[in-house]
Amino acid sequence: QQQVRQSPQSLTVWEGETAILNCSYEDSTFDYFPWYHQFPGESPALLIAIRPVSNKKEDGRFTIFFNKREKKFSLHIADSQPGDSATYFCAARDSNYQLIWGSGTKLIIKP
Amino acid sequence: NAGVIQTPRHKVTGKGQEATLWCEPISGHSAVFWYRQTIVQGLEFLTYFRNQAPIDDSGMPKERFSAQMPNQSHSTLKIQSTQPQDSAVYLCASSLDPGKVFFGKGTRLTVV
């Protein structure tokens, strides 16, 4: 089934903590898993992505953990900053080269 | 590289009128996507072109929505007989590498 489930819908963490955003999927043919962030009044922009040959991808404070067996992937934001407050979307690419999007997580970082 | 260009940025139409939204993808990008975003529904896929050919329009409301890509430098989304529930931000995106999608700034459509 072509669906990507994302949780939680909203998340509030204190500055300096690690924020963890979760996604899961069912279609084993998905082959690319990006995360996008969207700041208020702006459009979504690519943040970081992973292919299923890897189980971890890091870029600074942002890390994707990927579990192919369980069909789950998560975004960890370490040492979270108020400027990280945004809506985060996970997605998965299908065999038609189209992205299937999660429903988004609104992340608020409290100073 | 000016990115994906969408015009107009804001459009107000009366109920029942037609609205045409324009998108200029990034030069050289082979895929163009249209999405609609609202607070309630979130990010909704509408339609997708690859090399100007329509690939998937499964998200398009069939009766009043249509999209075209007459050449590689622009795509249009047309909404006939606009209704208040069509009010949303319409996002156009393009990509060269499947999965790495670049979004335009969007057109905010308000139907009054």
Go through the domains of chain B in sequence order and give each one's CATH number.
5-111 (2.60.40.10)
The number of distinct structural domains making up chain A is 1
Q: In chain B, what residues touch A49 (CB-CB under 8 Å)?
A: 99-100
pLDDT of residue A71: 96
Rounded to whole angstroms, the Cα distance separating B81 from B96 reads 34
B99 touching A, CB under 8 A?
yes
| Residue A1 pLDDT > 60 | no
CA distance A3 to A1: 6
Provide the domain limits for residue A55.
4-110
**What mean pLDDT is reported for chain A?**
95
The per-residue pLDDT for B97 is 77
Q: Which residue has the tokens 């996008």?
A: A36
- What is the percent of chain A with per-residue pLDDT over 90, rounded to a whole number? 92
Q: Do B100 and A34 touch (CB under 8 A)?
A: yes
Q: Residues 33..92 of B with a Cβ closer than 8 Å to A: which? A: 33, 42-43, 45, 48, 50, 55-56, 91
For residue A99, list its beta bridge partners.
Answer: A93
CATH at residue A86? 2.60.40.10
Virtual torsion, Cα A52, A56, A58, A64, nearest 10 deg: 70
DSSP string over B55-95: EE-TTS-TTTEEEEEEETTEEEEEESS--GGG-EEEEEEEE
